[in-house]
Structure 1
Amino acid sequence: MAGTLRQQVLSLYKRIIRAAQTWEATDPTQTRTEQEYIISEARYLFRANRSISDDKSIKEHLTEGESRLEIALHYKTPYPRPVNMPPHTITRAWGKANLKRQQTSRPVYIKSLDTST
């Protein structure tokens, strides 16, 4: 991993941890639960993806992490926002001719949770 990408990854991780430490839930009784979720999710995903060495993949994961952080801060919820399609509907994959059945409803911006690849 290039030095600048490493710095960006570490910077993102620090921003996420700081956000967790200052996080205030809309329901004050859930603040600690949501803070713990943010920290555990960050630790899990960063550890799961630490073996990625391709610069392009690292940049994609950085973009995903930054997007998730901004979405969480904007909507004031640390949990991924679901897509607005019910499970088992037919979706168009990235290719024009590739149609596949969506097994579960999950956010399309989250590649780190994609277990099919």
Structure 2
Amino acid sequence: MIVYLHIMASLRTEVLSIYRTILRTARTWKSLSGSQQETQEEMKYIREEAGALFRKNKHLTDEEQIRQCIREAETRIELAHHYGIPYPRPVNLPPMGLGGPQRKGKKLQERLRHQAKPVYLHSHEEIEK
């Protein structure tokens, strides 16, 4: 029981640290275009997206799910800094990811699409639904 509480406290510290990093990133964000309006829109997007995802996941208790969310947040932060855009990057479908008119192999197509989905998009599509 003590080990579990220690792990959860450690995860909580890590989650709060990531949240602070995201808010700091939003505060210092500069749009690639240099436009003040776009910069403000992107800063707002970062804050709102972070708030929505953290609120959605605040009741998670499974250690592995929490670690997956942490990995996703870290990946999205790295991608935002690297590419200079706060929005998730689009994903290309794998070969045979779309079905033909026969609809044969639908399970295979769904599995291929699921396997091709990058870690930084898991929460993004759940929020949109």
How many residues align? The count is 105
Q: How far did residue 99 of structure 1 move? A: 1.5
Query: How many angstroms does 1:85 deviate by?
Result: 2.2
TM-score by length of 2: 0.73
Q: Which runs of 5+ in 1 are unaligned?
A: 91-97
Which structure's CA Rg is the greater one? 2
Runs of 4+ that moved beyond 3 A: none
> Is 1:17 matched up with 2:23?
yes
1:113 to 83, 99, 124: 124
Partner of 1:100: 109
Q: Offset at 1:111?
A: 1.4
1:84 to 84, 92, 107: 92
Superimposed CA distance per residue, residues 81-116 of structure 1 (whole angstroms, 9 cap, x where no aligned partner): 011228x725xxxxxxx51345xxx9522211344x
1:28 matches 2:39: no
Superposed CA deviations along residues 49-102 of structure 1, whole A, max 9, x for unmatched, are 11111001000000000000000000000000011228x725xxxxxxx51345
State the Cα distance separating 1:28 from its structure 2 match.
2.1
2:83 pairs with 1:75: yes
Q: 1:43 aligns with which of 29, 51, 56?
A: 51
Quote the Cα distance in structure 2 between the aligned partners of 1:59 and 1:39: 21
The structure with the largest helix share of the pair is 2
Quick one: distance in 1 between partners of 2:77 and 2:42?
A: 13
Question: Secondary structure of 1:83's match?
Answer: coil
* CA-based RMSD: 2.3
Q: Where does the alignment leave 5 or more consecutive residues of structure 2 unmatched?
A: 100-106
1 CA distance for matches of 2:98 and 2:118?
A: 14
Higher strand share: 1
- TM-score under structure 1 normalisation? 0.80
